[in-house]
Structure 1
Amino acid sequence: MERTIQSSIKRQKVSDNTSSIDRLSAASPDDVLCHILSFLPTKSSVSTSILARRWRFLWTHVPNLNFGIETLFISRRKSFSEIITRVMFLHKVQSLNTFRLSRFVCCSEHEIETWITTVMSRHVKNLVINLGNNHIKFHECLFTSKILVDLRLDCCLFFHLNGTVCLPSLKKLHLCSIQLDGDETFPHLISGCPVLEELIIEKIINQKMVSFSISSPTIKRLKVAFQLGIWRSGCRLQIDCPALRYLQLQLCLFDDLVSAQKLTSLIEADIRYKVHREVEDDYDNLSVLNFIDTLCSVNCLKFSSAKSFTNRPFVDQGRPIRRFNNLTKLELVADWFFLVKFLENAENLEVLIIREGHGMHKKPKNWIEPFQQVPKCISSHLRTITIDGFGFTEPEFDMVKYILRNAEVLNKMEIYFIPPSGPKVKNEALKRISLFHRGSEACQLVIYRDPLRNKL
């Protein structure tokens, strides 16, 4: 009796699901259903063919093909490549919106080239290829497409460009774990993308390169991340992108690693220097400062570097003063030499965030009060300050005291202590800071005992 009831319930559920599917089918035209299916992995899209007669071949009209790890589980009797080949054979769309291939099993170079050539013949607009460190030479059609808008290549270990590059519609280019075969390969690629707006470069591999040049009059967003061990020490990165509005760099610190010009349109920048040697080098410091000065037009800046600037007279000597008049928000994970530099030269700074990077709480803070009058940003613009990683050193107390005393329009100062800190030390620090004179009567001082924002 119990089994009969359970069977009845199951039949009712199946009936309800079928009714729901039928109602969805009846209320929606095919193009709407295909649009819904386009958001699913191809495996899930193909699986809908068992729902009803109308759904049997509906997936073949979906404008997106997305092959990932889930494709492996469609059938135990067929290989990954057989599944992809079969799906692409049955697929009827002649103008593909997106083709995504994430290869997690062994496929031959011939199969990969055949798939890419096929989708290029179907005028694909967005192409995402992860070849899993496969050695492959792409067909010329990949770099002569008039339709391609977004191209992302990941783990294509050897990247050869011998022929013409003509991508008149390409707006986004993402290259990750690519090994270039010479200094001119990348400039040759970029020169063939006349409307490129976004460029992301990660883990470019080349131990023989002397220079890496990024020059484009149209790029608006640029992200570059190099890694030690796959990038040649001393190779110079040169940026010439006058239309650039957003810049993110993750760099290993070597002599004169990066230079930039014509960044007058830049609004936001995120610069991270990774230090891989402990020897103090004044010319390294000077190189960093010269590059930072080229960012003088930014509104929002994040700057991170574990490099110490102990020889301030050298790096200041004979240097022209660069004003950061547009800078309103600054996030700093660096030697406090930069803190003083920006306070003195960013007159309109409103939001200041000071963070402690890995191991930086053990280094001297290098806080020196501004030499002449109180910086204009402190006295008339600075409204919010966050100190994330207060280490109870005297330079830190001196900096907080100076800013609280001179910040006349400050609304809020938040301080987070570095854990672990005993309650006695924290309470003494809280008492000491709370007694500092405040130039702004409206200033709210909030001190947290840990990064979870638990107040003292």
Structure 2
Amino acid sequence: MFPATSSLAGGQSDARRLFGEMPPGEGNGSAPPVRAGDRIGALSDDILHHLLSFLPVQSAVRTCVLARRWRHLWRFTTGLRTVGVQKEGPVQELVKFLHHLLILRERRVLETVEIEFSEFLKEDVPYVNLWTRFAMLWQVRELSLRINHREYLYLDDLPLVSQHLKTLDLHGVGLQETFLDFSSCPALEDLNMKYCEINVHKISSSALKRLSIIFCQSNLDYQVRVCTPCLIYLELDNFSGRTPFLENMVLLETARVDLGSSCEDFCLNYDDFGVFCGDNDNACENCVAYNDGSKLLGGISNAIHMELISHYDIFVFTRDLKQCPTFSKLKTLLLNEYWCVAPDLDPLACILKNSPVLEKLTLQLFYTGGDCVEMKGSYSSMERSSAISEHLKIVEVKFHAIDKRVHKVLKFLCTFNIRFSFE
């Protein structure tokens, strides 16, 4: 009746016993009398329902063979964790099992739903989309969809509708236009996307507080707009394609932006002196095509804590600095060596000038990890330069070895009466 059911039943040949064809127990929310030393048996049904939610759904159902009391506990779990790994076969081998489970379980409100597998076929995709919609019907609070596969699994191009969804984790999925319109998810606070393909005009939510976009990509020739006015935490790490357009985030507290090597906003004529062709008559095709600007720094200008990382030839930050916003709340700032490449250190000077309440500055003058030397600086006198925040207390400079570049940065900072010592 069910494929591969013997493994699901822990050796039971008749899979029907897994789905409660035996008489239900007397579960009334309290534990039955137990023998001395039976600590698990002393737990109430409600606690066991919660504990079973941490198991893969296949393992949770197997517990029905443990004892009479366990026959129907799996039907009341507070969460469903569906895991299909390569050794168990593709999604098809879970379909009948899951369909019966969804029909027979009693609880209709779920705290968590996790769907994870390594292999899928084209005909499996509708089932995954169906399970996702079932989760919405069951008022799920946390939904995780993780696809560990060489190809993206594309979700239906329909918006999610839920008054209860608070956390959404997506890994290895393809997202199209309306799915990332969360106007019908007023409770959504956390959105995490990793290794996803994001082919949408806009990511929009009026309630979202935390957003992570890590190693995702877009194949579109225009920027994805991010409209999340209530965001307090943003992580944009190694986005492949055009850098997203960040609309103003007035409540933002922490922003981490790392424009990795796959960013398409790079200058073809960039030279070793940190010069972009920009708006010149002989500008390269990238600079001409992307002359509409990035609008990245303006979107995160309200951040209190910020990290800005970029490769040398990417022009996003340099372009935004031409109309540099004021970072009126910024207290801690981490920059990599990108900001210190230009001969006159204009990018570094510009962002310092526009950070009036900055308290801590960290310069990380290397791309890769490994052992590094750290120098800490502080004002050597009461004299404060008007070109830098009067609140600045700590300056950290991290590097592998002192070279001309490091010497230039230290010399530049010393013009603000900052003196350094080795840690």
How does the TM-score come out when normalised to structure 1?
0.62
Distance of 1:67 and 1:225 partners within structure 2: 28
Hey, which of these two has a bigger chunk of helix by percent? 1
The residue number in structure 1 matching 2:219 is 207
Distance 1:100 1:215, change over 3 A: same
2:252 aligned partner, one-letter code: L
Equivalent residue for 1:166? Answer: 184
What's 2:270 paired with? none
Q: What is the 5 A alignment of 1:294-309?
A: 294-306=326-338, 308-309=340-341
The whole-number CA distance in structure 1 between the counterparts of 2:360 and 2:413 is 23
Q: Is the CA contact 1:328–1:350 (under 8 Å) kept in the aligned structure 2?
A: yes
Q: Contact between 1:149 and 1:170, CA under 8 Å: does it hold in 2?
A: yes
Q: How many residues align?
A: 340
1:116 has 2:116 as partner? no
1:59 aligns with 2:59: no
CA spacing shift, 1:276–1:36, aligned 2, 3 Å: same
Q: What letter is aligned with 1:231?
A: G
**Residue 143 of structure 1 aligns with which residue?**
160
2:405 to 335, 350, 364: 364
Deviations 1:254-296 (A, max 9, x none): 365453336564221122213357xxxxx77743756886445
8 Å CA contact retained: 1:258, 1:291: no
Is 1:101 matched with 2:142? no
Q: Which amino acid aligns with 2:296?
A: S
Contact 2:248 2:298 in 1 (8 A): yes
RMSD of aligned alpha carbons: 4.0
Q: Helix, strand or coil for the counterpart of 1:345?
A: coil
Separation (CA, whole Å) in 1 of partners of 2:413 and 2:306: 28
Matched residue SS, 2:127 = helix
Tell me, in whole angstroms, the C-alpha distance in 2 between the residues paired with 1:87 and 1:71.
Answer: 21
Per-residue deviation, residues 207-266 of structure 1 (Å, max 9, x unmatched): 333333223321111111234xx314xx56334111111111111463654533365642
Query: What is the identity, as a one-letter code, of the residue corresponding to 1:101?
Result: I
Partner of 1:447: none
SS class of match (1:354): strand
Q: Which amino acid aligns with 1:112?
A: V
Cα separation, 1, equivalents of 2:87 and 2:189: 32
1:6-33 per-position Cα deviation (integer Å, ceiling 9, x unaligned): xxxxxxxxxxxx95774432x3221122
Q: 1:137 & 1:37 partners in 2: Cα distance?
A: 28
CA offset digits 1:157-183 (Å, max 9, x no partner): 25242899521111112223333445x
Match of 1:32 among 47, 50, 54: 47
Q: For the residues of structure 1 that align with 2:309 and 2:351, how far apart are their CA atoms?
A: 24
In 1, distance between residues paired with 2:352 and 2:333? Answer: 18
**Which residue of 2 is the match for residue 128 of structure 1?**
144
Shift of 1:67: 1.8
Residue 403 of structure 1: SS of its match in structure 2? Answer: strand
Task: Give the number of the structure with larger relative contact order, counting CA–CA contacts within 8 Å between residues 6 or more apart.
Answer: 2
In the aligned structure 1, how far is the partner of 2:252 from the partner of 2:182?
A: 26
1:194 maps to 2:212: no
Decide which structure has the larger Cα Rg and report it: 1
Identity fraction in percent: 18
1:265–1:332 CA distance, 2 compared to 1 (3 A): same
Q: What is the CA distance between 1:306 and its match in structure 2?
A: 4.2
Structure 1 residue 355 corresponds to structure 2 residue 355: no
* Alignment gaps of 5+ in structure 2: 1-33, 267-286, 288-292, 367-373, 379-383
- Give the corresponding residue for 1:177: 195
Distance across 1 between alignment mates of 2:57 and 2:414: 66
| Separation in structure 2 between the aligned mates of residue 264 and residue 314 of structure 1, nearest angstrom | 19
Distance of 1:111 and 1:301 partners within structure 2: 46
CA distance in 2, matches of 1:364, 1:350: 23
CA–CA distance in structure 2, aligned partners of residues 241 and 171 of structure 1? 14
Q: Secondary structure at the match of 2:172?
A: strand
Q: Secondary structure at the match of 1:355?
A: strand
Q: Secondary structure at the match of 2:40?
A: helix
SS of the residue aligned with 1:31?
Answer: helix
Corresponding residue of 1:407: none
What SS does the aligned partner of 1:211 have?
coil
Secondary structure of the residue aligned to 1:364 is: helix
Classify the secondary structure of the residue corresponding to 1:298.
Answer: coil
Say if 1:43 and 1:70, in contact at 8 Å, map to a contact too. Answer: no
TM-score by length of 2: 0.67
Q: 1:367 to 1:267 in 2, by over 3 A?
A: closer
Q: Return the alpha-carbon distance in structure 1 between the equivalents of residues 338 and 60 of structure 2.
A: 49
Counterpart selection for 1:274 from 307, 311, 332: 311
Q: Is the 8 A contact 1:138 1:160 kept in 2?
A: no
- For the residues of structure 2 that align with 1:307 and 1:164, how far apart are their CA atoms? 36
The one-letter code of the counterpart of 2:83 is G
Deviation at 1:94, TM superposition (A): 0.3
Do structure 1's residue 231 and structure 2's residue 229 form an aligned pair? no
Q: Which residue of 2 aligns with 1:249?
A: 257
Amino acid at match of 2:113: F
Residue 372 and residue 196 in structure 1: after superposition, are their counterparts in 2 closer, same or farther (change >3 A)? closer
Equivalent position SS for 1:249: strand
| Cα distance change of structure 1 residues 203 and 264 upon mapping to structure 2, 3 Å threshold | closer
Q: Given that residues 117 and 139 in structure 1 are in contact (C-alpha distance below 8 angstroms), is that contact kept between their aligned partners in structure 2?
A: no
- Alpha-carbon distance in structure 2 between the residues aligned to 1:197 and 1:23: 40
Aligned residue number for residue 363 of structure 2 = 332
- Equivalent-residue separation in structure 2 for 1:271 and 1:334 (angstroms): 12
